[in-house]
Amino acid sequence: MAESRREENMSKLVLVTGAGGFIGSHLTEELVKEGYDVRAMVHYNFQNNWGWLETLPKEIIDNVEVFPSDIRDPFAVRKSVIGCELVFHLAALIAIPYSYIAPASYIETNVSGTLNVLHACLEEGTPRVVHTSTSETYGTAQYFPIDEKHPLVAHSPYAASKIGADKLAESYYLSFGLPVATIRPFNAFGPRQSARAIIPTIISQALCGAGKICLGSLFPVRDFTYVKDTVRGFIAIARSKDSVGHTTNIGRGEGITVGDLAKLILEICGCSATIESDGRRVRPESSEVRQLVCDNRRAQEMLEWSPSYTLERGIEETVRWMREDLERYKSRTYNV
């Protein structure tokens, strides 16, 4: 069955925007393994740096068409989707603290960039588009676990930009019939994630022998999903006819406070450091999202998707990877 599915995919050209990022690089890698022809859009820069794609095994990257571009440019985006039967749109600015500093850049990238992708796909007649949302669009849970009917609340400029992007995707489906499905991941984590995210922040400080682990607020509850499970969700949504026109949550369905998460990671790392809340890392009070726990019943019923990694197993794999690449993380610097 797996072999026949792989053969069906062999001639299908797939575009991944944001392919040089954390989830994008894992998705690109898995798509190549599945037999897809992958065009990977990365942010153009004068160094010709491809982000995390630079770390992929040679047998993977040799089968990727790297496409340096800029999601904010409609002409470049239009060119990138030509000939593609499937587009995974992941390109975005995602750091919440930086969105307080530079909100206009989030509108340009996350909203206007998404508009560019949707319109290019409409003009080119792309058969399927998967748009990436985020659990941050829900804001603090008004009930939990959070299903896809939960109201959208913008607790940060980042969340506002993603809500705008999600609504554009919805509008292109309803207005023009664009076959777009939206995936809403809950706190993906794993190898290649940047130090601005909570799990790499804790691990990098612990592995560097810090006497105290500096974090933001310790009480928020999050639902952490290992990146390999998240990527399986992306591919399942792309393959499902029933996902078109809908938003689908992808998360484990289990919450943990940031404080308890830190204790778990320190135990796995064999570190006895203390845990402290650093005022510089705390969100503005009304901006803090207190609880995000996924209701994944739609994914289970529609996609037959369920998480295969426990939180502990995912952290253990992430710790092993970070031990080998610790110099990349500036553990004593607050990464905005």
202 neighbors 238 (Cβ within 8 angstroms):
no
Instruction: Please tell me the predicted confidence (pLDDT) of residue 182.
Output: 98
Find, among 178, 98, 172, 167, the residue nearest to 137 by Cα: 167
Q: Domain coordinates of the chain in residue numbers?
A: 2-190+226-250
Strands 221-222, 256-257: pairing is antiparallel
Q: Which CATH number fits domain 2-190+226-250: 3.40.50.720, 1.20.810.10, 3.40.50.300, 3.40.640.10?
A: 3.40.50.720
pLDDT at 8 over 50: no
212: nearest Cα among 220, 222, 221, 202: 202
φ/ψ of residue 85, rounded to 5: -90, -15
Structure confidence at residue 7 (pLDDT): 39
Per-residue model confidence as pLDDT tens digits over 266-297: 999 999 889 988 777 777 878 888 899 999 99
The mean pLDDT value of the chain amounts to 93
Query: What average pLDDT score do residues 163-175 get?
Result: 98
Angstrom distance (rounded) from CA 59 to CA 47: 23
Is there a contact between 38 and 14 (Cβ–Cβ < 8 Å)?
yes
- For the stretch 170-211, pLDDT in tens is 999 999 999 999 999 999 999 999 888 999 999 999 998 888
pLDDT at 333: 65
**Secondary structure E strands in the chain:** 13-17, 37-43, 64-69, 86-89, 128-132, 180-185, 188-189, 212-215, 221-222, 225-226, 247-250, 256-257, 274-277
| Tokens 């792989």 -> residue | 6
Note the pTM of the prediction, 2 decimals. Answer: 0.93
Beta bridge pairs of residue 68: 42
- How much is the pLDDT for 335? 63
